[in-house]
């Protein structure tokens, strides 16, 4: 017997990331080959004509799991009874744009979307913020949806996590599936800290001494700056890799992480590892039965703690810049 359809809302639905995401969700790559979905697609009025073309393609693909498509330019209509929400839509970062400018441009979008979620979404909704600056946008959304549990909200650091895993697999000459216990701490920005001090390869801890020159001068900058390199190369921000990371993030959140590993998710800090409570910060997490839990008890050296504090300070500064949009 076919399951009851899951309501999935996606904002910025005519954009590049959503275009790469929608067809995989409709095909069952998110929730499995036996789970029907209803897509709730949100766009700004001026993009509705382009979205019509995307809907036509979804229809033409004849996905057996796609139970219905609803299209709207109203956030409350899109989020009504939503089970899963991907907040993709945001003003994209362009070459030369300062992070402060991007934050100010997008802050009002996410405050309004938080209010809409608060009004009409299911109480057990799962909301993933992808539009940048994702961590602080997620904080804005969460604070504007006070009737929903804080654990309903997360921001995406999975793209950074995936980038780091790919770099590590190449360096250690192994498959990406062999890499585990890798963590991205902090903000989705150039202050993020890709941490390999707990790294395992094929289930085994590193035995050779860490090449600190490679780690400091090659690996960390490569992960931190990869988004900018993609933007410089193609003239547009990451799209397909971002969509894949969003799908991985939400699939693990709903269906669970691997038994003996963790993933990186930006979630509301509960004070773990000394991070200011309330910030949306990337931690190592495990997911079980639709819920995430920050991994406890990781021993951090002074170098790691310094990097974590640097990213925390950036997030505190971003929080202060949008304080007027953060209801108490």
Tokens linked to 184: 């991205």
Task: Detail the DSSP E strand segments found in 14-164.
Answer: 37-42, 66-72, 84-87, 126-129, 153-155
Q: β-pairing, 126-129 with 84-87?
A: parallel
Tokens linked to 162: 């995936």
Residues in contact with 121: Cβ distance below 8 Å, sequence separation at least 6, in sequence order: 79, 80, 81, 82, 85, 127, 145, 148
Residues in contact with 59: Cβ distance below 8 Å, sequence separation at least 6, in sequence order: 69
* Spatial contact of 38 and 28, defined as CB atoms under 8 Å apart: no
Q: What is the CA radius of gyration of the chain?
A: 19
Nearest-angstrom CA–CA distance, 318 and 100 = 8
> What are the φ/ψ torsions at residue 70 (nearest 5 degrees)?
-120, 130
Residues acting as catalytic residues: 188
């Amino acid at each position: 017997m076919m399951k009851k359809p899951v309501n999935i809302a996606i904002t910025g639905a005519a954009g590049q990331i959503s275009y790469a995401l929608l067809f995989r969700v409709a095909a069952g790559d998110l929730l499995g080959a036996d789970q029907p979905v209803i897509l709730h697609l949100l766009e700004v009025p001026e993009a509705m004509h382009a979205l019509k073309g995307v809907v036509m393609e979804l229809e033409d693909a004849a996905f057996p799991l796609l139970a219905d498509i609803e299209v709207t330019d109203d956030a409350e209509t899109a989020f009504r009874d939503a089970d899963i929400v991907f907040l993709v839509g945001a003003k994209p970062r362009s070459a030369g744009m300062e992070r402060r400018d991007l934050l100010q441009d997008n802050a009002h979008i996410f405050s309004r979307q938080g209010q809409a979620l608060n009004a009409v979404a299911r109480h057990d909704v799962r909301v993933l913020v992808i539009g940048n600056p994702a961590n602080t946008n997620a904080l804005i959304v969460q604070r504007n949806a006070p009737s929903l549990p804080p654990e309903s909200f997360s921001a995406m650091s999975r793209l950074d996590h995936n980038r780091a895993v790919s770099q590590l697999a190449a360096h250690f000459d192994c498959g990406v599936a062999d890499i585990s216990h890798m963590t991205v701490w902090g903000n989705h920005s150039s202050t993020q800290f890709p941490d390999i001090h707990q790294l395992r390869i094929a289930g085994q801890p590193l035995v050779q001494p860490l090449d600190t020159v490679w780690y400091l001068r090659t690996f960390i900058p490569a992960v931190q700056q990869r988004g900018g390199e993609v933007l410089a190369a193609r003239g547009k921000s990451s799209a397909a890799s971002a969509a894949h990371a969003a799908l991985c993030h939400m699939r693990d959140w709903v269906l669970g992480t691997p038994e003996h590993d963790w993933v990186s998710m930006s979630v509301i800090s509960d004070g773990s590892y000394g991070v200011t409570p309330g910030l949306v910060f990337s931690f190592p997490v495990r997911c079980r039965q639709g819920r995430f839990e920050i991994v406890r008890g990781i021993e951090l050296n002074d170098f790691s703690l310094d990097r974590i504090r640097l990213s925390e300070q950036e997030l505190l500064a971003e929080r202060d810049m949008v304080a007027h949009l953060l209801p108490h």
